[in-house]
Amino acid sequence: MALSVVKTDIPEVLIFEPDVFGDRRGFFMETYNRDQYASKGLDRLFVQDNYSHSAGGTLRGLHYQLNHPQGKFVFVVKGEVFDVAVDIRKGSPTFGKWVGQILSETNRRQMFIPEGFAHGFCVLSETADFMYKCTDFYHPEDDRGIHWADASIGVSWPVDNPVLSDKDSSLPCLKNMAEDELPVYKGP
């Protein structure tokens, strides 16, 4: 077997299926190998790793950084989430479009969310441990977001009444965002 890539409706958003080697003792997998992933289209330098533990029904997002955009390489260690990437780059041919993917400890899929995209996930299991690598550092003053239930985007979240932070429940809709609060598409 070899690392495989699943293409999505937004070409820059990539789903990876890594090799998993298992036997009666358990399993082993490389969660990231720069050379292998670069050969499959993910050639980025990651500078920060984050770990999130969330209760069932929790929805985090849709987040992005404006002046220090973060590409995110995400996967689930324990549990199951529905992960979402939304293209919010002004001038992009896929502006306002989204890709969603179930990531779990069972399917071991990984997803790359490019710079200039809003990102969020909701927890489908009792709890979930979620890991992600970032292409830039977190800058709190640069933190932005879009409301998770923005009808103009129309994400089909698999939860009706998610558990939200105060911040996430009060984020604006995309149509109410000032032009200078959105990243700019720089081409392929």
Instruction: Report yes or no on 125 lying in a domain.
Output: yes
pLDDT at site 187: 83
Instruction: Report yes or no on 187 lying in a domain.
Output: no
Question: 56-90 burial, b for 16+ CB within 10 Å, e for fewer?
Answer: bbbbbbbbbbbeebbbbbbbbeebbbbbbbbbbbe
- Do 39 and 148 meet the contact criterion of CB atoms below 8 Å apart? no
Is the omega angle on the peptide bond into residue 62 within 30 degrees of 0, that is, cis? yes
Question: Among this protein's residues, is 63 annotated catalytic?
Answer: yes
Q: Check 63, 64, 119, 147 and give the catalytic one.
A: 63
Q: Check 37, 119, 132, 147 and give the catalytic one.
A: 132
- Does this model's pTM top 0.85? My answer is yes
Instruction: Report yes or no on 66 lying in a domain.
Output: yes
Beta bridge partners of 127: 55
pLDDT in tens, 154-170: 999 999 899 999 999 99
Question: Among this protein's residues, is 37 annotated catalytic?
Answer: no
Instruction: Report yes or no on 185 lying in a domain.
Output: no
Report the relative pairing of strands 72-78 and 59-65 from DSSP bridges: unpaired
Amino acid, res. 127: T
Instruction: Report yes or no on 56 lying in a domain.
Output: yes
Instruction: Report yes or no on 183 lying in a domain.
Output: no
pLDDT in tens, 2-43: 899 999 999 999 999 999 999 999 999 999 999 999 999 999
Instruction: Report yes or no on 169 lying in a domain.
Output: yes
pLDDT of 1 higher than 80: no
d(CA 11, CA 27): 31
Long-range contacts (CB closer than 8 Å, 24 or more residues apart) made by 159-168: 159/57, 159/59, 159/82, 159/122, 159/124, 161/57, 162/57, 162/58, 162/59, 162/122, 163/55, 163/57, 163/58, 163/59, 164/58, 164/59, 165/60, 168/59, 168/60, 168/61
Report the number of distinct structural domains present in the chain.
1
Residue given tokens 């800058």 in the structure block: 139
Instruction: Report yes or no on 188 lying in a domain.
Output: no
- For residue 131, the enclosing domain spans 4-145+158-176
What CATH number has the domain bearing residue 18? 2.60.120.10
